[in-house]
Each structure stands twice: as structure tokens, then as C-alpha cells.
């Protein structure tokens, strides 16, 4: 039987409190120096958006006026990316299957002076991906950046992986980005170019034994990224692949808690990582901003390692590192 992650209640106060406590205790440097910051005690929001004019006097924001679509943006890494892009001036399309959470992210951005719309879409469906691109154009008239972030990573060894699980993982992690890129590329080409940013994984290069399907799908995504980079360079469409590290999102905290891992145990694990701490969505969001901006105009087909040095070490078969 496959080892699937238990359902997570993202409004569970224990999850919220654990995430806040963990960040304050073990990632204090992210609280004041990054685009996203920890919120005040008692708030259910895990990140806040800078107001458009805050700290921007005399500086053009890095993705000012661009339109960015982020899949899987209702929580965790996708939410952090959406808020970061909005902070740097982008019009943001927040997309997810989680309607209430996705709308909340878009509303948070708008409340702080940014531009955002929520569009529900299941990336497993080509029709919904096509409609997602069309509706994005209806909202902001163009599409400059596509961030393929939606993901699914159930733990399962080779022997435990069923055909159903394999196909589900591939539909979300590989077929979804394919569908979104397929329908986004013509739009980007007509407007003179764009940036496709695929959120990958170290498992796409060498996977852990309990992430067989996920590793294969992310490896396919890496191949797709390089193919797109070569095929559409003439249209000024860039495609790049980001490898995040072990990110402490709401879901990850809840998953670790469900498996009986305490904050003290996580602290010990984090200090044992190459750069001495877990990552936050902000760490990857900074890289996404770079790849979305004109600063990376000559960057395509690149694998950007944000894994805090994990790729420099041998993968340990017994590790739970994602």
C-alpha cells in the first residue's frame, strides 16, 4: 500500500502556531530582511506584502507591469512566489484548485495595493489549463511569466507505487506544466517573449527511494524545460528550472507533526543541513523574481540550485529530505 501524506487542515491553529514558532526560532534572519515577513501573533497570514511605495522611492520595481501566472499558489511556496512577484510590481494570477485559500491570497495582495486575480484551475486537465491562459488574458491583456509550481509528492517506493499513483503524480507534476506551457507559448510569442519558470526538485536529478514517481516526473520536467528553452529561444521565450531545498511551509509543518516530529527534532535536522537551516518560500521567491525580470534576459535552459548545498552531497536512502 502506498504511503500517502495525510490530509492537512491549513486553518489548524497548531499548524499556524508551529510555523510561526519555527520561523521565529530557527529562521530569524528571514523576519526583517526579506520581501516576506512573519506576521503578528494571532494572525492567520504567514506572509505579508509590502505596500507598493514602501522602500521603492527612486527605484523601479523589478517586474513592474509584467503579468505572472502561478499555479499551486493557494499556499506554501506558490503563495510566497505570488506575493513576492506582486511586491515587485507584477500583475499576478493566483491559480489553484483550493478556491477559498486561493482567493484569500489574491485578496491579500489587492488589499496591500497590488494587482491580483484568482482563477480556479486543475492542471490535470488540458481544457482547464487552456481556459486558465485565456482568462488570464481577459484579466490583464497579456502574459509575461508562467510559474509551474503545482505539485504532488506522495511517498511510495517502487514496489508500493500503483499505476494510479504513478499517473496522478505525472498528471500534476509533468502533464500540468506541459499543458500550461503549450497554451502559454503562443500568447508569449505574439507579445514578443516571456519567461517560463518550472519549479523542480533535486529528486529530478537523483530521487530518493520513497519518491519514485515524483522523481521520474520532475526528471521529465527538467527535460521539458531544456526542450522549451531550445525550441523557443527564437521567440524570446526563456525556460528555466529551479531546485528548491527543504522548505518549511504550512503543509510541511503539518506533515511533520502528523508523523510525530517535534519542533526540537526539526531544529536538530535543520542545523544539520549544509547551510544550517531550513528554507522558507522567500528563498525561492527571490530567484523567481530574478528569472521573471529583465535582469535574466540572457538566461535560459538553466538549472538553478537553491537547495542550500544538498545537491553537493550524496543522497542518503534513509533520509526524508524532499
Place of cell 515577513: 37
User: Are 121 and 95 contacting, i.e. CB atoms less than 8 angstroms apart?
Assistant: yes
Residue with cell 512566489: 81
Among this protein's residues, is 214 annotated catalytic? yes
Beginning with the edge strand found earlier in the chain, give each strand of the sheet holding 91-96 in spatial order: 115-120, 91-96, 67-71, 145-148, 194-199, 237-244, 303-306
Largest CA distance in the chain: 58
Q: Kindly name the residue from 179, 214, 241, 290 that is annotated as catalytic.
A: 214
Give the helix/strand (H/E) hosting 277: none
Q: For residues 73 and 78, what is the distance between their CA atoms, to the nearest angstrom?
A: 4
Question: What values do phi and psi take at 95, rounded to 5?
Answer: -125, 140
Residue 86's nearest CA partner among 110, 56, 118, 57 is 110
Could you give phi then psi for residue 136, rounded to 5 degrees? -65, -40
Which residues in 29-181 belong to E strands, given as ranges? 67-71, 91-96, 115-120, 145-148
Query: Hey, which residues are catalytic here?
Result: 214
Amino acid at each position: 500500500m502506498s504511503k500517502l501524506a495525510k490530509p492537512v487542515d491549513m486553518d489548524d491553529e497548531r499548524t499556524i502556531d508551529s510555523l510561526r514558532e519555527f520561523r521565529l526560532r530557527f529562521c530569524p534572519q528571514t523576519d526583517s530582511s526579506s520581501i516576506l515577513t512573519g506576521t503578528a501573533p494571532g494572525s492567520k497570514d504567514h506572509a505579508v506584502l509590502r505596500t507598493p511605495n514602501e522602500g521603492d522611492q527612486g527605484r523601479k520595481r523589478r517586474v513592474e507591469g509584467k503579468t505572472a501566472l502561478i499555479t499551486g499558489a493557494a499556499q506554501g511556496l506558490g503563495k510566497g512566489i505570488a506575493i513576492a512577484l506582486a511586491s515587485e510590481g507584477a500583475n499576478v494570477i493566483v491559480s489553484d484548485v483550493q478556491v477559498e485559500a486561493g482567493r484569500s491570497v489574491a485578496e491579500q495582495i489587492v488589499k496591500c495595493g497590488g494587482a491580483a486575480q484568482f482563477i480556479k484551475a486543475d492542471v490535470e486537465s488540458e481544457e482547464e489549463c487552456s481556459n486558465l491562459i485565456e482568462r488570464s488574458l481577459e484579466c490583464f491583456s497579456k502574459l509575461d511569466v508562467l510559474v509551474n509550481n503545482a505539485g504532488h509528492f506522495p511517498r511510495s517506493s517502487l514496489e508500493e507505487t500503483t499505476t494510479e499513483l504513478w499517473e496522478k503524480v505525472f498528471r500534476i507534476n509533468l502533464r500540468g506544466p506541459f499543458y500550461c506551457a503549450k497554451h502559454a507559448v503562443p500568447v508569449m510569442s505574439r507579445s514578443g517573449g516571456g519567461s517560463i519558470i518550472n519549479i523542480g526538485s533535486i529528486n529530478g536529478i537523483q530521487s530518493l527511494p520513497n519518491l519514485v514517481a515524483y522523481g521520474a516526473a520532475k526528471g521529465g520536467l527538467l527535460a521539458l524545460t531544456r526542450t522549451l528553452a531550445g525550441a523557443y529561444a527564437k521567440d524570446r521565450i526563456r525556460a528555466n528550472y529551479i531546485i528548491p531545498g527543504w522548505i518549511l511551509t504550512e503543509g510541511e509543518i503539518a506533515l511533520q507533526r502528523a508523523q510525530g516530529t517535534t519542533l526540537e527534532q526539526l531544529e536538530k535536522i535543520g542545523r544539520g543541513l549544509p547551510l544550517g537551516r531550513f528554507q522558507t518560500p522567500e528563498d525561492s521567491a527571490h530567484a523567481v523574481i530574478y528569472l521573471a525580470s529583465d535582469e535574466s534576459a540572457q538566461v535560459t535552459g538553466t538549472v538553478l540550485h537553491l537547495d542550500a548545498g544538498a545537491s553537493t552531497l550524496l543522497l542518503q536512502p534513509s533520509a526524508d529530505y524532499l
